[in-house]
Amino acid sequence: MSTVGVFGLGLIGGSFVKAYHAAGWTVLAHNRSRSTLDFALLSGDADGELTKENISDCDLVLLTIFPEAAIETLRDFAPYIGKKPLVMDCCGTKRTVCEACFPIAAEHGFTFVGGHPMAGTQYSGYKYAKATMYARQPMVIVPPQFDDIFLLERVKTLLAPAGFGRFSVTTAEAHDEMIAFTSQLAHVVSNAYVKSPTAKLHHGFSAGSYKDLTRVAWLNAPMWSELFLENREYLIREVDCLIENLKSYRDAMAAEDGETLTALLAEGKRLKEEIDGK
C-alpha cells in the first residue's frame, strides 16, 4: 500500500488528504493546530500523524503550507526523509521555495519538485476541503531538471489519486511571472473593489457580475500577503498596467468621449475573444 504524508490541513492539504484517503492510500498528516489534526484522525481521513520517525516510509510528501513555513519544515525534516519519498510543495509562488528547497534536497539525497495545484475556492480551512477539489484541474510542476522524463512520469503517477486533468512544466521564474496576472492580480482587484462605500448598499441591485468579481475578495489575508510580497515585482507591474488601463477609461468618460470609450470597450472584448479562442 502506498503512503502519502501531508504537511498542513487547510483547504489545499485537506483536499489532498481526502483524495488520497478515497484512493486507498495510507495518509499521514501534520498540522500546526492539533485540533484540526485530531479531527482528521477521528474522521478517518488521516491514518496517523506524520513525524520524523515515519516520514521516510512515505512515497510522496506534500508541503501544503505557506512558503516560508514550507522551507523551514523541509529544513527541519530533511535529515529524516531518506531516498524513498518524492517531496513536493504546493505553494502559490515558486522562486523562493525552489531556490531554498532544491539545495536542501540535494544535500540530503532526496528528490524535491515544485508544484502548484491550480484549484481552490474563496474559503479556507479543512472544513471546506473535498476529495474532488483537483479533479480535471491543471497542475503546474517545477522540476529540478527539465530533461528527466522518468521523474515527470513518477510525479504524474504519484499525483494520480488527486485526479488532475493536465500538467504544465515550467520554471519557477516563468510560473511567478504568469501567476501574478492569472491569480494574484485578480485577488487584489476583487479585494479592493469591495472597499467602495456603495458595496454596503448592493443588495437587490447585484447579480452575476458582482458575484464573479467579488468571489476571491474572501481570502486568507496572511497567506496572500506573504505571496504578494514574495512576488511583488511581477505583481506591481501588473497592478501598474491595470491602473494605466483604468485611467484610459476614466479619461474618456470625463471627456464625454464616446468614440474613444467605445473603442476601448471593443478592444477589450476583442482581446478576450482572441485570448480565449472564441
Question: What are 227-250's pLDDT values in tens digits?
Answer: 999 999 999 999 999 999 999 999
Question: What are 52-73's pLDDT values in tens digits?
Answer: 999 999 999 999 999 999 999 9
Instruction: Specify the CATH number for the domain of residue 97.
Output: 3.40.50.720
pTM (2 decimals)?
0.89
Instruction: Specify the CATH number for the domain of residue 206.
Output: 1.10.3660.10
Q: What is the DSSP string of the chain?
A: --EEEEE--SHHHHHHHHHHHHTT-EEEEE-SSHHHHHHHHHHTS-SEE--TTTGGG-SEEEE-S-HHHHHHHHHHHHHHH-SS-EEEE--S--HHHHHHHHHHHHHHT-EEEEEEE----S--SGGG--TTTTTT-EEEEE-S-TT-HHHHHHHHHHHGGGT-SEEEE--HHHHHHHHIIIIIHHHHHHHHHTTSGGGGG-TTS--HHHHHHHGGGS--HHHHHHHHHHTHHHHHHHHHHHHHHHHHHHHHHHTT-HHHHHHHHHHHHHHHHHHHT-
The total number of structural domains in the chain stands at 2
186 and 118 within one domain? no
Residue 195 structural domain: 175-276
Report the pLDDT value the prediction gives residue 207, as an integer from 0 to 100.
78
Report the pLDDT value the prediction gives residue 146, as an integer from 0 to 100.
85
